[in-house]
Amino acid sequence: MNGIVPLYKERGMTSNDCVFKCRRIFKTKRVGHSGTLDPNVDGVLPICIGKATKVVNYLMDSGKIYIGEITLGFATTTEDLEGDVIAERKLTKPFETDVINEAMQSLTGELIQIPPMYSAIKVRGRRLYDYARAGETVERPRRKIIVNYFKQINNSTFKTEKGQQKIQFEVGCGKGTYVRTLAVDLGKRLGVPAVMSDLTRLASGGFTISQAVKLDDLKEAVEKGELEGQLFPADHALKKYPHYTLTDTQWGIVKNGGFLSPKYLGGENRPTIVLMYTNQARALYCFNQEKERYQPEQMIDLTEGEN
């Protein structure tokens, strides 16, 4: 079986837990996810099965949408509610909506973000969270991210006795964005400690939460003999690229990793194209300007006929 399943990851599970369970359900080791969700976060987690694992990176390149909550008034080691409190400042009055909106707007566009210490990014061969748990410090890599929008979706609430303000938000962003760090940075813009207190991923890899299925749904589909019906084709990850249907002769060249002249592919020199054969995505080819030819970027499925 090959394809992509838009899994709904429930809270309390790691993304790797989901991969492990999908390996058992689909009876294959070739399973990969397209972007980690922390255990305390739920939402859409596209999982690639079989040959579709070859398009994981293309799924990760797509944008993501989250909704969640930011609490102003305290900060933690992990930038969410899982960590220890490291800073507190009781607010005497809430921030005005316009002030919050302006601070959020300043955190959109192309930004440089420093990932949290409690994250899976590797530095010198070790995960950052391994350094953090050992009480060690290490210089973290600065990363370029894209935040398309960052906005309030409801009126904020203010708890006078706690001196805390809660902001309901939605954010659309590119790959590699740590939303909990975005929450902390919003607090810095406002001059107060902040923490991400809730998060759900609404969309990822071109899938929305309304399309997502739970692990229990997949197990039920196995019992009914309908598991394959839960899968989207690998081509779902490649929708943004132009597609070209190969002739039998061209397919004979492509399945051996050969080059193609642009004059045989419509005459347009597009940077990347998806090559189709028998209604399936077989390969991504990129245009080499220097040599004026299309050449393999990623082979997807080189088997004959239908799968």
- Angle formed at CA 61 by CA 206 and CA 288, multiple of 5 degrees: 120
Contact 43, 66 (CB under 8 A): yes
Q: What would the DSSP string read from start to end of 235-260?
A: GGGGTTS-EEEPPHHHHHHHTTT--B
Structure tokens at 173: 């962003």
Return the closest-CA partner of residue 6 out of 200, 177, 215, 170: 215
Helix axes 179-190, 97-105, angle to 10 degrees: 120
- Angle formed at CA 134 by CA 133 and CA 139, multiple of 5 degrees: 90
Q: Give the bridge partners for 70, in sequence order.
A: 167, 196
Q: Is 191 exposed, middle or buried (0-12, 13-18, 19+ CB in 10 A)?
A: exposed
Structure tokens at 244: 């070209």
Q: What are phi and psi of 236, to 5 degrees?
A: -60, -30
Q: Which residues fall within 8 angstroms of residue 166, CB to CB, at 6 or more apart?
A: 69, 70, 71, 72, 156, 157, 158, 159, 197
Return the closest-CA partner of residue 206 out of 48, 68, 54: 48
38 is catalytic: yes
Pairing outcome for strands 272-277 and 243-245: parallel
User: Which candidate in 17, 38, 84, 248 is catalytic?
Assistant: 38
Residue showing tokens 């001196």: 163
Would you name the residues annotated as active-site residues?
38
